[in-house]
Structure formats: structure tokens, C-alpha cells
Amino acid sequence: MIGDSGTGKSSLLLRFTDDAWLQPEEVAATIGVDFKVKIIDVDNKKYKLTIWDTAGQERFRTLTSSYYRGAQGVIMVYDVTQRDSFAHLETWFNELDTYTTNPLVVKMLVGNKIDKDGSNDSSRQVSRKEGEAFAKRMGTLFVESSAKSRSGVIDAFVEVIAETPELYQKTAAHAARAANTVNLDQQNNQSGESGGSCC
């Protein structure tokens, strides 16, 4: 999971893995990187996900190369009430292009904090349409979500999973040629479960 700091990456992850929500004053900024493991059923198949949650302030290069190299899916998060976090997505795409060696990585764009829409203190600065258009242009999946209200959270993760095995199947030959870029088995596979790595 990547995106500017304060967009709610850790909150999305916490909602997804633990179905929990922390009040703003209970939340601590992610330092460096955090990770969680979640086992989930999609279409009667068990997937074990290793999900990496990066600090928005952290540069990729401070973190690991193996971390990005092994990634099968990337969830890019912006805050629909913060225009800047949307504007910076291009930078995040550049970073991603630079540091991932997997050309088949599944990208998911998530506009978070839609629960704030219409509330008094902050309102939406990025419309759903805008988000969709950008996702289309960049060739990524798109979901709007609220970690607070649960809306869209599971969708975001499940869609990445749903896209992933199909991609790998279709292009197995290609993947085999790019031997060191796709590490399905290396870190994630446990007996009887399909692995998935996502950040």
C-alpha cells in the first residue's frame, strides 16, 4: 500500500485484516513499514496475503528492493478530501515504475475517506469521476472507500486478488522468462494456500 501520508493506508489495512477502526487520536504514523498477514476466501479458494503498509513519508529507496520486487499487487491510496494527495499520485506511479521489476503487478487506485464527504469540517476535493478517469488513464483498478464506514474496503483487496491469479495464468510463459521478477513461491506460499503479496 502506497500513497501520501495521512491518506489512511494503515486504517484501510486495519479495517481489512482486523475489522477495526481507530479514532484519529489513537492513530500513530507508520514508521518505515509495517506488515500484516490475512487469510481470505475468494471464490472458495484460500489466499494468504502478505500486505505491506508503507509510511507515506518514506521513500521507496529507504525501504527494500525485495519488498517491491516481489509485489504482485499494489494499492495506491489517496484522500478524496485532500487534493494534494491525488495530485501526487503521478509521483507515486513514477516511483512504482522505477522500483518494481514486475511488469504484471496489479494496480489498484483507492480514493479513501468518502465518509467525510458532506461533513462540515472537510468535504470532497476529488470527485469520483476524476478518480475513475485517472485510474482508466493509468490502467488501474479503482475503488472509493471509507475505512471508517467499511465501505469499499474489502472490495479493494478482493479485486486485486481476483485480478492476480488470472494475470499470472495468462502470461505464465512470460513470467517464466522473467524469472527473477515473479516470486510466487518464495515468500508466501503455504501448503494449500495461494500466496499473494500486496503493497
Partner 1 sequence: MTGYRQGMHELLAPILFVVNSDKIRIDSAESTNDPLAFIFDANFVEHDAFALFSRLMRSTKSWFDSSANTLPGGHNARVRNKASSVSAPQQNIPIVVLCNHIQNNIIQVLDPTLCSHLKHLNIEPQLYGLRWIRLLFGREFPFEELLCLWDGLFAHDSSLSLVQWICAAMLLLIREEIIQADYITVLQKLMRYPSLSTLKVKTVTGLLDKAKNLQREYEERVTISSQEQHSRESSAASEMSNQKKSSRTGSSKSVAEISNFLVHGEDSKKTAAQSDNADNLAVLQQRKISELKARDRTLAKKVDRCISQLADILSDAQTLNERRNEIEGIVDELKVVQTELVFSSGTSMSMTDGNESESPVMVSRPKMSAKAAASNLHEYSNDTILQRNANGSSILATGASGLDSWISTLSTAAQDVDLSKTVKAASSLFSGLFEERIGTSTFAPFVPADQQQRRHSAAVKAISGIEANTSAAGVAATSSPIKSTPSTLADVSTTIKSNVRSRPESVSSSIKSTASSAPTSFSSASTTIRSARYPPDHWRNNLPLQPQIQTQPQPASSDDSSTVGSVVSNPNKEVFVVVADGGFKDPLS
Among 22, 38, 69, 154, indicate the residue that binds partner 1 (CB under 8 A).
Answer: 69
Kindly state the smallest distance separating residue 39's Cβ from partner 1, in Å.
11
DSSP element (H, E) containing 17: helix 9-18
Q: Which residues are registered as beta bridge partners of 74?
A: 107
Among candidate residues 42, 49, 5, the one with its CA nearest the CA of residue 190: 49
Kindly state the smallest distance separating residue 57's Cβ from partner 1, in Å.
5
For the segment 111-150, give every residue that binds partner 1 (CB under 8 A): none
Alpha-carbon distance values, 18 to 1, 22, 77, 84, 150 (Å): 16, 11, 19, 29, 12
- The length of the chain is 199
Burial bucket for residue 81 (CB in 10 Å: 0-12, 13-18, 19+): buried
- The reply to whether 55 sits near partner 1 by the rule CB under 8 A is yes
- The reply to whether 35 sits near partner 1 by the rule CB under 8 A is yes
- The reply to whether 97 sits near partner 1 by the rule CB under 8 A is yes
Kindly state the smallest distance separating residue 75's Cβ from partner 1, in Å.
17
Binding site for partner 1 (CB under 8 A): 4-5, 28-35, 37, 50, 55-67, 69, 87-88, 91, 94-95, 97-99, 101, 186-188
